Amino acid sequence: MIEPHKPAPLKVMNDVRHSVQDASGPLNLSDAPDACEGNPVVVSVTCFAPEQLPEIIRTKGRRTGKALMTLAVGRVDALLNSTGCTYNADGNRIIVMSRETDPRLVYRIASVICAALAGEYVYADEVYNLRFCAGAAIARASGTPWGTVLAQAEQAMNEIPHGSTEPIRLYTEDSGVQEEQPLGKGDLQRALEHHELVLHYQPRIDLESGELKGMEALLRWDHPRLGRIMPGHFISLAEESGMIGHLGRWVLGEACRQARDWSVRMLKPFRMSVNVSAHQLQPELVEEVSAALQEHGLDGRFLELEITESVMVRNMTEAVPLLEAVKDYGVSISIDDFGRGYTSVRYLEAFPADCLKIDRSFLNRSLEQQQKIIPAIISLGRRFGLEIVGEGIETPDQLKLLRELECDTGQGFLFSRPIDSEAFELEYMPFTQA
């Protein structure tokens, strides 16, 4: 059974343990100025802070805030033990420093620590559900003042919007006063050729049994200079430059490969969901799906294509025959972000859907609004025999409501944020690590 708030130390910390200790011993935070000034040692600094802490301090007082930070420090201490990384609690933040300077590994370290910090904290018989964000910076040359690196990490952290689906940000020179150089088609071509694209996976959980039912594949771009780039910053470029087809084929193929690999190793198949944009609703989509399934030996029953409600409504004429042809391979079709638009019963009746995903915005409304809107959506989906998925589940109260309404499955930060394949295996498939 999958339990929410289950922090898991990941294999990446073992990699850090070796890479950091190989660099002439661990760092001490008290030596940080010397490590950055006039010394060939190059370091990275990451700041972590809980999003909810200011509100907790305002309503519960500073003593409660300090106690929660002390509990959080305990989690960091257990995770970083013997890695050579150094940490310190400084007010409402936790500062971690290491010798690691590879932006991808720095990001992964931050990701692991954020996952370990997230979850429930109990103090004075009250439960607090905390979510941490992180900003990281790298001193790329000797002589960089310690205060500069720390300030850059703080700047990156402060630039993260509250409630962002990507709670980690790496500082780059483009984050400062310099004007950011726009990405172009050549950057996307290089990303494909140099394996800079990666998939992260967010689990879909059976809300009745708590078991893992599937996962959604989400695209990320690990840019060598800019760090992690979210799809919202490059999908429009891919569409405008004609690269969206190349990206779509790569995502489809990689998702099918990973789904097949996990199915074989777990002796139990799970459904892999892949997002499809409006630009991908072309006749070649059917052939691409068929080719990906055949190449990786994946049964079509364990692949799901997600199309947003708005794309569905705007492209009904083209989408329906294409998706019906895709369904001939056993592939499921899901309507994503349902309820955001104005879908009528007529559209639902005509569209070859198997699953309906409730738009996450409804779970962020008042309880009164939730109790009016969400049951109506679930009832509508039930009329058409659709599986109902709750998206954006972040609190126990939201989970409780969806369970009471007999929503089938759900996903959200309460269970797990999107994580890479290695983290996914260690979190949900521990027995595969022989």
Mean pLDDT value of segment 386-414: 94
Mean pLDDT value of segment 64-70: 90
Distance separating the N- and C-terminal Cα atoms of the chain: 21
Q: Which fold has domain 185-432?
A: TIM Barrel (3.20.20)
Question: What CA–CA distance (Å, rounded) separates 319 from 414?
Answer: 33
pTM for the full predicted model? 0.64
User: What does the pLDDT read at residue 146?
Assistant: 67
Could you tell me the pLDDT band of residue 345, with boundaries at 50, 70 and 90? confident
What does the DSSP assignment read for 50-106? ETTHHHHHHHH-HHHHHHHHHHHHHHHHHHHTTSS-EEEEETTEEEEEES---HHHH
The CATH code belonging to domain 12-175 is 3.30.70.270
User: What does the pLDDT read at residue 176?
Assistant: 44
User: What does the pLDDT read at residue 117?
Assistant: 92
Mean pLDDT value of segment 220-249: 86
CATH topology identical between 12-175 and 185-432? no
**Strand partners of residue 389:** 357, 409
- C-alpha radius of gyration, the chain, whole number: 23
Average per-residue pLDDT in the chain? 83
Domain map (residue ranges) of the chain: 12-175, 185-432
Greater pLDDT, 50 or 36 = 50
pLDDT tens-digit readout, 169-192 = 988 765 543 334 578 889 899 999
**Strand partners of residue 214:** 204, 271
